[in-house]
Structure 1
Amino acid sequence: MAHVFIIGGAGKIGQRLCRILSGRGHAVRALYRKPEQQALLGELGAEPVSGSLTELDAAALAMHFAGSDTVVFTAGAGGKGGQEMTNAVDGEGLKKSVAAALSAGVSRFLLVSAFPESARGETTSESFENYMRVKKMADVELAQSELDWVILRPGALQDKTGTGYVRAGLAIPYGNVPRDDVAATLAELIEQPAVSRVIIELTSGDAPVREAIQKLAGR
């Protein structure tokens, strides 16, 4: 049984991951900010932990992480609050979380990042370009750490029901992927520790999630 702490547990991917992990018998704790999210996380099988990522420092986060063997960072400003909030959540929030994980003795850290081809060839705003820069900087921060990390870069996220079939690799063509399948992939990464210190791109595909992740073990 894994002991998992999810940052962004009340988000669309986080909620799905809470449900999957608790259903498989793992111990799940999830950070939440809004009071109404507490009951929701409990219903999903997670232990709710109150706190705001933008207000907690690394020392406080480390206290929350105590007893966990895996941290999943799937938080994101989602374009709300402009560049300042993106910098605070996706950038500084990740940086603090990495420091906290190291301090707390957490062994594994999974980060949901962004596919580098996202919106390429389209007219984008400066806010979006800042988002992509911050996401890349967060990847660098984690990859340079001493943690047992995996960075997952999903394609264009969809809310439709997942198929359980994906394409996962070090470099693959850009495409869509349901959030259900992103959460299922994160669950497999938690259960397959042989997949380590690698950046994985993810889209819909024709391989069962478990099989797709197994093929990446030992790379």
Structure 2
Amino acid sequence: MRIVIAGGHGQIALRLERLLSARGDEVVGLIRHAEQSDDLRATGAEPALCDLESASVDDVAAHLRGADAAVFAAGAGPGSGVDRKETVDKGAAILFADAAEQAGVRRHVVVSSMGADADHPGDEIFDAYLRAKGEADAYIRGRKGLDWTILRPGSLIDDAGTGLVRLEASTGRGMIPRDDVAAILAELVDTSATAGLTLEAVGGSTPISVAVKSVAGN
């Protein structure tokens, strides 16, 4: 498979690129800065310069054309302000979805956030983040040209992955290693039967492959 990942230098994306490359997929990671290229090459991925805050739909579609799947794993990051929640967490997600549709890439997996809600109240930066993510998710759910799956992990931690998770439409709050989020994404990319699902993920007791098969069969 050829898989294009938005936010290719992110912590989850780098883990995902390593997993996908190791199993033989052709992986392209979209990055904002050329100096990030070597980090992607170290995972086995091909870096592609594309700033999702300034690119056009045509620009992004050119990178997506010929891909079998697209993964949106970009984020403005914890140190960013409200403006970048709008331009990255919302705007870039919408742009990437539009570009995937234009390029004819149906399989579309999105890393969102537990608690994402277009109507989330509050004036803090995290409130703006959850609204931005919720608005992006709502937009993507409306794209008829995409076989989308939205993954909403719990609180992300850097502990080593266990390979054991709880993956359901609603899990309740919890923590999950970034390693395990990447491993779930790798399974979801391959599992088109999860199209149309919004899933929450936290640490649990079910092997990841089994958890994905279980939700795909519901």
Alignment TM class, shorter chain as reference: over 0.9
Q: C-alpha displacement at 1:35, in angstroms?
A: 2.2
Partner of 1:121: none
Task: Give me the whole-angstrom Cα distance separating, in 2, the residues matched to 1:215 and 1:69.
Answer: 23
Task: Give me the whole-angstrom Cα distance separating, in 2, the residues matched to 1:36 and 1:178.
Answer: 27
Q: C-alpha displacement at 1:36, in angstroms?
A: 1.9
**1:156-198, Cα deviation, whole Å (9 max, x unpaired):** 0001100000000011111000000000000000122222110
| Partner amino acid, structure 2, of 1:183 | A
| Matching of residues 154-173 of structure 1 within 5 Å | 154-173=153-172
Task: Give me the whole-angstrom Cα distance separating, in 2, the residues matched to 1:92 and 1:215.
Answer: 32
Counterpart of 1:101 in 2: which secondary structure?
helix
Counterpart of 1:131 in 2: which secondary structure?
helix
Task: Give me the whole-angstrom Cα distance separating, in 2, the residues matched to 1:131 and 1:79.
Answer: 10
The 3 A distance-change label for structure 1 pair 139 and 45 is same
Partner of 2:15: 16
Task: Give me the whole-angstrom Cα distance separating, in 2, the residues matched to 1:156 and 1:48.
Answer: 28
Q: TM-score, normalised by structure 1?
A: 0.94
| Partner amino acid, structure 2, of 1:86 | K
- Off by >4 Å, runs of 4+ in structure 1: none
Partner of 1:182: 181
Partner of 1:130: 128
Task: Give me the whole-angstrom Cα distance separating, in 1, the residues matched to 2:137 and 2:69.
Answer: 17
Q: C-alpha displacement at 1:117, in angstroms?
A: 8.1
**1:97-143, Cα deviation, whole Å (9 max, x unpaired):** 1110110000111010010189xxxxx86211111111100110111
Q: TM-score, normalised by structure 2?
A: 0.94
| Partner amino acid, structure 1, of 2:196 | R
Counterpart of 1:132 in 2: which secondary structure?
helix
| Matching of residues 1-219 of structure 1 within 5 Å | 2-116=1-115, 126-146=124-144, 147-219=146-218
Q: C-alpha displacement at 1:217, in angstroms?
A: 1.1
Q: C-alpha displacement at 1:218, in angstroms?
A: 4.0
Residue 90 of structure 2 contacts residue 133 of structure 2 at CA under 8 Å; is this kept in 1?
Answer: yes
* Backbone CA RMSD of aligned residues: 1.4
- Count of aligned pairs: 213
| Partner amino acid, structure 1, of 2:142 | Q
Task: Give me the whole-angstrom Cα distance separating, in 2, the residues matched to 1:166 and 1:149.
Answer: 21
| Partner amino acid, structure 2, of 1:205 | G
Residue 79 of structure 1 contacts residue 86 of structure 1 at CA under 8 Å; is this kept in 2?
Answer: no
5+ unaligned residues in a row in structure 2: which ranges?
none
* Farther-moved stretch of structure 1 (75-84 vs 17-26): 75-84
Percent of aligned positions that are identical: 40
Task: Give me the whole-angstrom Cα distance separating, in 2, the residues matched to 1:190 and 1:93.
Answer: 20
Task: Give me the whole-angstrom Cα distance separating, in 2, the residues matched to 1:79 and 1:130.
Answer: 12
